[in-house]
Amino acid sequence: MSDSVSAEGGEARRDFETSAHYPFDLDWMSATGKGVRVGIVDSGVEAAHEGLRGKIKHCWEAKTEGDRVVFVETDVGDSAGHGTACAGIVSSIAKDAELHSIKVLGATGIGDGHAFLAGLEFAIKQRYDVINLSLGTTKTQLAVPLHDLLDRGYRNGCVLVAAANNLPQPSYPSVFSSSLISVSKSEMKNPFEFGFRFGDVIELTAPGVNVRTTWLNNTYKNLTGNSFACPQIVGIVALLLEACPEMTPFQVKSMLYSIARSNQNVAAE
């Protein structure tokens, strides 16, 4: 397929650096994501799964009409499992977040690049508070339109979080870290103990090895990959936005850096 896009594969209290921009303390760690709208651009979601029942507000699917890609409400679910897995991880951290599925990938976890662009644009137009992008492409012809969409989302106040490529080569959109938050996997287990690699293109690290989450046919599965680190950060962002909903994408990233630096200081003690 041309221009293809695919899926990327009890806490101690601590003092975080805060400022007037972040007028809250560790109360965010007891938040549940209530009132935060999360868009998941992926392979769809099995909304009837016991671990997701009542958590999926809308399921949208890409349809081609002539030379346009449009999105219609659907109950087709998820034939790949990837989107269901990501939704389960977000929900495991932010149990009351409102999840919205935007299906752009097929049964093999691969889809058309134009559907991906349309899905991202659709999610931005819906003004979701956080958008999970556990997918990417190495097609350079998609780089410019993706970058433009990310900038638009950033200006509209959408916090965009993307998974790095599992293979040792850059992929879009994760390399555009000026407009989004990029994530790769680590072997840590606690999602609250994520790391931040200041100066790297892929900035955040989060649990992504043997992550147990929701899967097809009302089952659960242990999964490894950057795809499953990305929704860990999306869940954390949902908690932060419930605690301080007026934060901009820039402020969210700054807060994540502050928390990660605190995590690293604690680990070094």
User: pLDDT tens digits for 219-238?
Assistant: 999 999 999 999 999 999 99
pTM score of the predicted model:
0.91
Residue 36 has pLDDT above 70, yes or no: yes
Residues 6+ apart with CB under 8 A from 258: 16, 17, 18, 22
CATH superfamily, domain at 26-268: Peptidase S8/S53 domain (3.40.50.200)
* Residue 23, pLDDT score: 44
Is the pLDDT reported for residue 30 higher than 60? yes
Residue 264's pLDDT band, with cuts at 50, 70 and 90, is confident
Cα angle: 166, vertex 172, 177; to 5 degrees: 95
Q: Which of 86, 102, 94 has its CA nearest to residue 36?
A: 94
Q: Residue 187: count other Cβ atoms within 10 Å of its Cβ.
A: 10
Q: Residue 25: which pLDDT band, with cuts at 50, 70 and 90?
A: low
* Cα–Cα–Cα angle for 57, 29, 215, rounded to 5 degrees: 45
Contact present, 259 and 16 (Cβ < 8 Å)? yes
On the question of pLDDT at 265 being above 80, the answer is no
pLDDT of res. 9? 62
Burial class (CB in 10 A: 0-12, 13-18, 19+), 195: middle
Q: How confident is the model at residue 67 (pLDDT cuts 50, 70, 90)?
A: confident
According to DSSP, the β-strands at 204-207 and 195-196 are antiparallel
